[in-house]
């Protein structure tokens, strides 16, 4: 926690210092901080110019890009566009701090003669990112970039591109998206660099500047390269190539004119769609993460469709990536649950139940419902289960019918219903009071063992002091409850809940809703279920007739 706090303070200090950076620094100022643009301060060469390390008086670093001299960028256009770009703020794009446009008198040569001429100098000043660019990491297996980090980088790049394409009144098309233009910030957060330069230089001049650059041509969309057609789908093609390189670690041969990365795409589509190839690249990954890799490859291949109309939008790509991430977490959760299910006895003995609940100790009680009391059961391995001790009333279903019903409920599996692990049905001889005297009688114990959900029930969040349920979460909870109810209603043997209420909707660690107490109407019979629930405070108002009369 202390490390996180100091890092946060450092980031805040850094932000405060950079916010004080002049929006329109003078050329003399830039010369001072770059040591007059000395070669020892060069930290990068790009399509649009040379990048220098600038050191401020307080020791803070900035990146100063000296743009190439062209005839296409006029004073007003540069200042307007650069000024607009400075207002862009997103954690996945490199922050533009300031810009400089200054005309200097310089001795220039023309027709073998030297004379003084006005030479416009153009500079862009960015936040400095010490981890460098993505191309220094993704091709080197010893770089320490594991699959989890690669996946986060892909998602971060997509979030940055979504901001440029879809979160502004006018989309910014990058036109030069490649690994060397993805900078890495603290904690390896990816940030898109060189965005918006096509506006400063103009699209035609951007194409002229970039199309003959070694290494860049493989990222360019075919319709842009051959016909000069530009749209946000041009960037989607480049993003697809980028995703394929990040996932596979393959580096294109820069000595070959691999236009639109045809060789790379062909290699991936032939070899990397097979799970065996993915396993050889990532031998230590678990199954759910291997599936993540496969899905990302499929997504990358979708992005590099030759027809721009068939390429997805960056918004839909982010949606798919979130699905992929969610599937992996669900898979891992289900694996853990399945392991617990296989270890937990399907028909535990009463003595076992008494041991894990501390003999149904009061301090282990975690809830009371229409059908019984719920206790926390702690297994030897530390895993926790919920143990429901059912009310035993007259005229319960026959033992055989009860056992058949509860056995069928154990076989039900759905992410939005609480999982039933096992059941116990035992008769014990106990000393009980009857008409003022104590006699031995057969006492029936009926117990159901469920997965344990520590967040508790929905009613605590709807009516309590907690404000965790914003609209997005609330909508997902509604959707999840409906999915669970659909599963119960439309299964081979439909189950009518008969006691659906916030207290019977439990929430997991991710606030995913799970319907509890389903199927108990079968165990008790519908008439007895009605008798048990009709007088319980809270339950009766969920009835249709009661609701209509209120």
- The answer to whether the annotation marks 310 as part of a ligand binding site is no
CB count in 10 Å sphere of residue 193: 26
For β-strands 190-192 and 372-378, DSSP reports them as unpaired
451 burial (CB, 10 Å; 0-12 / 13-18 / 19+) is buried
102 burial (CB, 10 Å; 0-12 / 13-18 / 19+) is middle
CA 172 to chain centre: 24
Cross-strand pairs, 367: 374
The beta strand positions in 72-200, using DSSP E, are: 96-110, 113-127, 182-184, 190-192
Provide the H-helix boundaries in 304-463. 314-343, 350-356, 399-410, 459-463
Does residue 417 contact residue 484 with C-beta atoms inside 8 Å? yes
Inter-residue long-range contacts of 529-533, CB under 8 Å, 24+ positions, other chains counted: 529/498, 529/499, 530/498, 532/370, 532/371, 532/391, 532/393, 533/370, 533/498, 533/499
- The answer to whether the annotation marks 395 as part of a ligand binding site is yes
DSSP string, 493-547: S----S--SGGGEEE-TT--EEE-STTHHHHH-HHHHHHHHTTSTTTGGGSHHHH
Helix (H, G, I), strand (E, B), or coil: what is residue 433? strand
**Alpha-carbon gap, residue 324 to 184, rounded angstroms:** 23
Binding-site annotation, residues for ATP = 66, 395
Binding-site annotation, residues = 66, 395
């Amino acid at each position: 926690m202390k490390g996180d706090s100091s890092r946060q303070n450092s980031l805040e200090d850094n932000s405060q210092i950079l916010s004080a950076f002049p929006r329109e620094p003078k050329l003399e100022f830039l010369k001072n901080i770059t040591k007059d643009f000395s070669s020892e301060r060069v930290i990068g060469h790009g399509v649009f110019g040379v990048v220098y390390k600038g050191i401020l008086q307080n020791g803070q670093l900035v990146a100063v890009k000296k743009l190439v001299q062209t005839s296409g960028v006029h004073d007003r256009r540069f200042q307007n566009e650069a000024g607009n770009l400075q207002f862009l703020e997103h954690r996945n794009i490199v922050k533009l701090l300031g810009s400089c446009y200054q005309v200097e008198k310089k001795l220039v040569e023309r027709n073998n003669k030297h004379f003084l001429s006005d030479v416009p100098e153009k500079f862009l000043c960015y936040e400095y990112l010490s981890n460098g660019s993505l191309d220094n990491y993704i091709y080197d297996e010893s770089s320490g970039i594991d699959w989890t980090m690669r996946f986060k980088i892909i998602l971060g790049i997509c979030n940055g591109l979504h901001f440029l394409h879809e979160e502004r009144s006018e989309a910014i098309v990058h036109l030069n998206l490649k690994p060397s233009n993805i900078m890495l910030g603290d904690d390896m957060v990816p940030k898109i660099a060189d965005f918006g330069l096509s506006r400063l230089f103009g699209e035609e001049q951007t194409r002229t500047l970039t199309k003959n650059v070694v290494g860049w041509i493989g990222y360019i969309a075919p319709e842009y390269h051959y016909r000069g057609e530009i749209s946000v789908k041009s960037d989607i093609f480049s993003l697809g190539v980028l995703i394929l390189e990040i996932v596979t670690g393959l580096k294109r041969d820069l000595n070959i004119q691999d236009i639109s990365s045809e060789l790379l795409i062909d290699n991936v589509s032939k070899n990397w769609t097979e799970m065996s190839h993915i396993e050889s690249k990532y031998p230590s990954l678990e199954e759910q993460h291997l599936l993540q890799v496969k899905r990302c490859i499929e997504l990358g291949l979708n992005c590099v469709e030759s027809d721009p109309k068939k390429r997805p939008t960056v918004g839909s790509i982010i949606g798919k990536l979130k699905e992929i991430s969610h599937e992996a977490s669900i898979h891992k959760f289900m694996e853990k649950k399945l392991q617990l299910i296989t270890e937990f006895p399907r028909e535990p003995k009463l003595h076992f139940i008494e041991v894990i609940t501390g003999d149904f100790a009061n301090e282990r009680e975690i809830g009371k419902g229409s059908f019984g009391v719920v206790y926390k059961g702690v297994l030897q391995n530390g895993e926790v289960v919920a143990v429901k001790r059912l009310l035993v009333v007259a005229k319960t279903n026959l033992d055989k019918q009860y056992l058949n019903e509860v056995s069928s409920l154990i076989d039900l599996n759905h992410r939005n219903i609480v999982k039933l692990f096992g059941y116990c049905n035992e008769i014990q001889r106990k000393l009980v009071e009857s008409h003022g005297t104590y006699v031995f009688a057969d006492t029936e114990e009926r117990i159901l063992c469920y997965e344990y959900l520590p967040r508790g029930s929905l009613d605590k969040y709807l009516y309590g002091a907690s404000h965790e349920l914003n609209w997005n979460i609330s909508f997902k909870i509604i959707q999840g409850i409906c999915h669970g109810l659909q599963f119960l209603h439309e299964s081979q043997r439909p189950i009518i809940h008969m006691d659906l209420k916030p207290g019977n909707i439990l929430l997991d660690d991710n606030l995913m809703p799970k319907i509890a107490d389903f199927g108990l109407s079968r165990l008790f019979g519908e008439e007895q279920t009605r008798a048990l629930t009709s007088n319980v405070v809270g339950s009766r108002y969920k009835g249709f007739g009661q609701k209509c009369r209120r």
